[in-house]
Amino acid sequence: MKDLVQEQLARSIAVMQSVLADDTIADAVVRAGEFTAKAMKSGRKLMIAGNGGSAADAQHLAGEFVCRLTVNRPALRAIALTTDSSIMTAAGNDYGYVHVFERQIEALGQEGDVFLGISTSGNSPNLMKALEKCREMGILTVGYTGNGGGTMAALCDINVIIPSGVTMNIQESHLALEHIFCMVVERAYFGPEFGREPQILSE
């Protein structure tokens, strides 16, 4: 079992090293963060969605924006579209699960908002519908994917594609880059020196 632990850690590290070596990923995270900060300064918001583990990521990331990541600061406007069980079940029941995020974007989205879709495969049908709706409404789209970007890549203005086809390794890199995305937004919003000395916080 010890070999299993070490083997899986080595695979996780190898994927993260590939992410670190890929300048296009860093550039995409910076672009997404700077645009999101600009949108928030204009009174717009970040909407986030995903399925399964990526739904948990969406909620986790929204919590970092609304509360804090490493430093106390004013709340930043972000919402996970995965949390309202009445909306999710009504949309799923009445229109089909493929429309659960699209319907919320239609109701809550505004031109100039940012939508972040998280999918390890890049092929989630409900995220595809959401991305199409965003294009209709003038909402910037960011995709966090793996697997070469999948079918989502063509509908995203900014793509962060993890160079792996293994779901758990993609998710590990997504989480790290979601935290970094939040940091980029903070520094673009509050100033370049913000958060350089993180506080030790407990949950």
Residue 64 is assigned to a ligand binding site: yes
Residue 179 is assigned to a ligand binding site: yes
Residue 83 is assigned to a ligand binding site: no
Residue 60 is assigned to a ligand binding site: yes
How far apart are alpha carbons 52 and 36 in whole angstroms?
24
How many degrees, rounded to 5, is the angle at CA 65 between CA 63 and CA 67? 60
Residue 121 is assigned to a ligand binding site: yes
Residue 141 is assigned to a ligand binding site: no
Residue 94 is assigned to a ligand binding site: yes
Residue 202 is assigned to a ligand binding site: no
Residue among 127, 120, 155, 123 nearest 47 (CA): 127
Residue 93 is assigned to a ligand binding site: yes
Residue 126 is assigned to a ligand binding site: no
Residue 12 is assigned to a ligand binding site: no
Binding residue positions for Zn(2+):
60, 64, 171, 179
Binding residue positions:
51-53, 60, 64, 93-94, 119-121, 124, 171, 179
Binding residue positions for substrate:
51-53, 64, 93-94, 119-121, 124, 171
